[in-house]
């Protein structure tokens, strides 16, 4: 890779487009003072992306644009283009030629082009970095800057050397890692602070969650208590309901029966209070019996009389007897009289109209018959036909009467039987009346007792209804606290008998325990379900875990960044040491060549610097005094050790100006040779050299040109003589730099 050409237009004194073709290993630019040579080196810096105006001797962007002269208009833009030959593909792009251009305007806007396409500065820097070229790099040694490396501090010197050795990339990578580390540490702090922030919340939530868990346990306990209680209560209620209603029904039935029995007993009692039909019947039958008995007795007497009459007739028939008058036996008359007397006597003692009537009617009949008997009887004369007939009649009548008597006897017997029956019946009724009264009394008492018991049962039922209501209420309340699982109580295995056998007080104490648990539960939960808290807690814990993981990840990546940095530093250190070694070899050689002996070397010096610890800084930030710095930061710098031949000179400060320039050149060349840049611009680096040293310088330039393309700005004849191409820069009255390709001889003249 080579710099093929450089086009400058509007940049500083190059008002018009000027093109340098750098076809040789060494190109020299010569010209009088102030003609614009250094502007060429600056144009190179500029096009390679230099951002420091100072290093281009400007204060403002405008200073880089041709400012005009008496005879020339000022320009509004400056543009520099550098063309590289990339046939060897040093640039990792697939072009034979790579051109980079930069254009600026008076408004300070800046544009970059890569092969004509607009690109960003970053793209340019990256592309150049890939070939070890940087804007402020070591490969452009500005006028008077050669001994900058000697004038710098050990630390800066080290930076320069590192840059020249191409080790900047390590610093850049370390810096990147450091930035990442800082960012990572910042993130860690953020995560830690977030964790710290949420920690009390988690702690608070944890307590809440513990409460929720406690409440859950309590709820489970409550559920179990409820299960036991409700199952028992249901058994009790079912059983008690059946029992009470059974009792009620039984008592109601009993009451009904007692009522009926009482009504019956009362009705029986009522019958006995009136004159009974049986008594009337008995009186009637008795009267009738008396009448029939008397009739029978009459009939008996009548039969007796008839028998007497039959006897008499039979005797009369047997002895003739004259009968002229009616004969009435005394017995017959007495019988009648006696009969009347008795009957009427009975009637007299009775108040019964019917009975009296009966007696009167019977008496009339008897008197009538007696009259008939007296009147109808004819005196017989011998056993006449009539007499015989009369006897027959008597006998027939006797027979009839006997039949009637028998009938009456039968009738009497019937009456007597009837009377016995009636009397028995009356006797029974009397007994029954007493029984009914007793029964009435008993049933009344029983009714009272049943009514009393029924009242009690009804009261029980009423009280029990309250138990049922309480049961339902308990079930409802329990459902709210325990949830639907409250209904699982039905599956509880509790021996019914055992449940019913235990005293009611046990249930009551269970209920009280449930009540206490309910209160505790409500106390803990305040009525809430705790789901929200659980969720919030889980989320907070999850977030904390996430942060912890993140923190862990960050720690890991911080650690690996530190590892990476350590690795890079180690690598940098190793490469640096190796580079120093190589440089020293070249440095020593170039130095000895320039000075005709002596030694020179770079030495790594450790600078001890006091460093404030982080804790001190924190303390200071908090307003406190920093403690005496305790840590010492070690910094490796580069010292230049020289020893001139024949002179007892140690240390750079003792060198003359020329000696310093020689030493600088030896060092620059050594560094450039160890890590050759693609091209090297040397702006009057040789200015301070005497003729002998100029010769040596020329030799060194020639050596260096083997490794790097050289562009030298010089007044030095010797240097010019080494160049393949020489450009002359002149400036006329128009104050515009002009370019001309010239021969060595012309150059010499031009340079003077
Ligand atoms: P020497 O040999 O003395 O080092 P030189 O050839 O290196 O000189 P330069 O320093 O490159 O000269 O050029 C300086 C010249 O450029 C000055 O004359 C200055 O006026 C001119 N110059 C610088 N900036 C501008 C600008 N913006 N517009 C016009 N001319 C400028």
Least-confidence region, from 37-46, 186-195, 524-533 = 524-533
Per-range mean pLDDT, top range of 103-107, 140-144, 463-467: 103-107
Residue ranges of alpha helices (H) inside 319-384 are 330-349, 353-376
Q: 632 falls in which pLDDT band (50, 70, 90)?
A: low
Q: What is the pLDDT of residues 212-236, one digit of tens each?
A: 888 888 888 988 898 889 999 999 9
pLDDT at 609: 59
Q: 741 falls in which pLDDT band (50, 70, 90)?
A: confident
pLDDT at 380: 45
Q: 727 in ligand 1 pocket by Cβ < 6 Å?
A: no
* Residue 322 vs residue 528, higher pLDDT: 528
- The CA–CA distances, whole Å, from 344 to 358, 361, 461 equal 11, 11, 77
Q: 31 in ligand 1 pocket by Cβ < 6 Å?
A: yes
Tokens of 482: 């325990």
User: Per residue in 372-408, is it b (16+ CB within 10 Å) or e — as a string?
Assistant: ebeeeeeebeebeeebeebbeebbebbeebeebbeeb
Least-confidence region, from 164-168, 202-206, 522-526, 582-586 = 522-526
pLDDT at position 343 over 70: yes
For range 555-566, the mean pLDDT: 93
pLDDT at 326: 64
Q: 126 in ligand 1 pocket by Cβ < 6 Å?
A: no
Q: 738 in ligand 1 pocket by Cβ < 6 Å?
A: no
The candidate with the shortest Cα–Cα distance to 507, out of 473, 467, 480, is 467
pLDDT at 102: 96
Q: Compute, in angstroms, the gap from residue 60 CA to the centroid of ligand 1.
A: 16
60 Cβ partners below 8 Å, 6+ apart? Answer: 53, 108
Give dist(CA 725, CA 6) in Å, integer: 14
Q: What is the pLDDT of residues 401-449, one digit of tens each?
A: 888 889 888 988 998 898 888 888 888 877 877 887 888 888 888 889 9
* Residue of the CA atom closest to atom 24 of ligand 1: 12
Average confidence score pLDDT of the chain: 85
pLDDT at 182: 93
Q: Compute, in angstroms, the gap from residue 736 CA to the centroid of ligand 1.
A: 9
Residue 89 backbone class (left: φ over 0; alpha: ψ -120 to 50; beta: rest): left
- The CA–CA distances, whole Å, from 36 to 12, 118, 196, 298 equal 8, 28, 65, 206
Least-confidence region, from 273-287, 289-303, 347-361 = 273-287
Atom from ligand 1 closest to the CA of residue 39 = 11
* Residue 672 vs residue 616, higher pLDDT: 672
pLDDT at 11: 96
The residue to mutate among 10, 11, 12, having the most atoms of ligand 1 within 8 angstroms of its beta carbon, is: 12
Q: 716 in ligand 1 pocket by Cβ < 6 Å?
A: no
Q: 63 in ligand 1 pocket by Cβ < 6 Å?
A: yes
> Taking the alpha carbons of 449, 455, 461, 466 in that order, is the dihedral positive or negative?
negative
pLDDT at 616: 56
pLDDT at 620: 55
Q: 318 in ligand 1 pocket by Cβ < 6 Å?
A: no
**Which residues face 704 on adjacent strands?**
none
Tokens of 553: 């990840």
Nearest-5° Cα angle at 40, 673 to 706: 25
Distance spanning both ends of the chain, measured CA to CA: 33
The residue to mutate among 35, 54, 55, 66, having the most atoms of ligand 1 within 8 angstroms of its beta carbon, is: 35
* Residue 611 vs residue 242, higher pLDDT: 242
pLDDT at position 323 over 80: no
């Amino acid at each position: 890779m080579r710099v093929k050409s450089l086009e400058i237009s509007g940049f500083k004194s190059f008002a018009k487009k000027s093109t340098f073709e750098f076809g040789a290993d060494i190109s020299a630019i010569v010209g009088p003072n102030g003609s614009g040579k250094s502007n060429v080196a600056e144009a190179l810096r500029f096009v390679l992306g230099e951002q420091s105006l100072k290093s281009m001797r400007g204060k403002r962007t405008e200073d880089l644009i041709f400012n005009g002269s008496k005879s020339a208009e000022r320009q509004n833009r400056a543009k520099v283009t550098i063309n590289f030959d990339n046939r060897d593909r040093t640039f990792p792009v697939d072009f034979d030629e790579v051109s980079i251009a930069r254009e600026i305007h008076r408004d300070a806007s800046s544009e970059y082009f890569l092969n004509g396409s607009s690109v960003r500065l970053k793209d340019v820097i990256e592309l150049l970095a890939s070939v070890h070229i940087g804007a402020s790099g070591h490969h452009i040694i500005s006028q008077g800057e050669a001994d900058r490396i000697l004038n710098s501090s050990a630390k800066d010197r080290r930076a320069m050397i590192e840059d020249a050795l191409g080790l900047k990339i390590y610093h850049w990578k370390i810096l990147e890692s450091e930035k990442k580390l800082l960012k990572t540490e910042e993130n860690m702090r953020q995560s830690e602070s977030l964790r710290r922030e949420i920690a009390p919340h988690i702690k608070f939530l944890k307590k809440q969650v513990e409460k929720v868990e406690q409440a859950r346990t309590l709820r489970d306990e409550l559920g179990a208590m409820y299960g036991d209680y409700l199952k028992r209560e249901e058994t009790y209620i079912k059983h008690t309901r059946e029992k009470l209603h059974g009792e009620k029904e039984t008592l109601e039935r009993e009451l009904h029966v007692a009522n009926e029995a009482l009504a019956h007993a009362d009705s029986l009692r009522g019958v006995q209070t009136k004159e009974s039909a049986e008594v009337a019947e008995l009186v009637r039958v008795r009267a009738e019996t008396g009448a029939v008995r008397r009739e029978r007795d009459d009939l008996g007497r009548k039969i007796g009389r008839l028998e007497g009459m039959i006897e008499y007739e039979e005797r009369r028939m047997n002895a003739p007897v004259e009968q002229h008058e009616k004969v009435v036996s005394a017995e017959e008359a007495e019988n009648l009289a006696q009969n009347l007397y008795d009957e009427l006597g009975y009637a007299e003692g009775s108040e019964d109209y019917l009975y009296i009537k009966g007696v009167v009617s019977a008496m009339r009949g008897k008197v009538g018959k007696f009259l008939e008997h007296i009147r109808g009887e004819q005196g017989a004369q011998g056993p006449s036909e009539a007499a015989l007939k009369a006897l027959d009649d008597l006998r027939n009548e006797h027979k009839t009467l006997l039949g009637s008597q028998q009938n009456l006897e039968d009738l009497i017997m019937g009456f007597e039987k009837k009377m016995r029956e009636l009397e028995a019946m009356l006797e029974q009724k009397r007994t029954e009346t007493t029984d009914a009264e007793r029964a009435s009394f008993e049933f009344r008492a029983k009714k009272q007792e049943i009514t009393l018991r029924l009242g009690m049962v009804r009261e029980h039922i009423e009280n029990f209804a309250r138990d049922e209501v309480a049961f339902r209420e308990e079930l409802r309340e329990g459902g709210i606290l325990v949830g639907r699982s409250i209904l699982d109580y039905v599956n509880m295995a509790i021996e019914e008998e055992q449940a019913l056998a235990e005293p009611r007080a046990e249930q009551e104490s269970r209920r009280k325990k449930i009540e206490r648990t309910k209160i505790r539960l409500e106390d803990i939960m305040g009525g809430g379900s705790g789901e929200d808290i659980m969720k919030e807690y889980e989320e907070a814990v999850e977030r904390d875990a996430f942060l912890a993981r993140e923190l862990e990840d960050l720690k890991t990546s911080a650690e690996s960044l530190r590892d990476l940095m350590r690795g890079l530093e180690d690598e940098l250190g190793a490469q640096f040491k190796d580079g120093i070694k190589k440089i020293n070899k070249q440095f020593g050689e170039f130095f000895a060549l320039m000075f005709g002996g002596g030694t020179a070397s770079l030495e790594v010096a450790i600078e001890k610097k006091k460093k404030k610890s982080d804790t001190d800084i924190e303390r200071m930030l908090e307003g406190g005094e920093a403690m005496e710095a305790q840590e010492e930061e070690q910094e490796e710098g580069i010292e230049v050790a020289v020893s001139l031949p024949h002179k007892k000179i140690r240390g750079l400060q003792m060198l003359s100006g020329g000696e310093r320039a020689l030493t600088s050149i030896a060092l620059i060349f050594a560094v450039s040779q160890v890590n050759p840049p693609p091209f090297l611009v040397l702006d009057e680096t040789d200015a301070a050299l005497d003729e002998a040293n100029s010769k040596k310088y020329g030799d060194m330039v020639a050596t260096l040109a083997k490794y790097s393309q050289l562009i030298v700005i010089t007044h030095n004849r010797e240097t010019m003589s080494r160049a393949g191409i020489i450009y002359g820069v002149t400036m006329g009255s128009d104050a515009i730099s002009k370019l001309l390709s010239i021969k060595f001889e012309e150059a010499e003249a031009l340079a003077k």
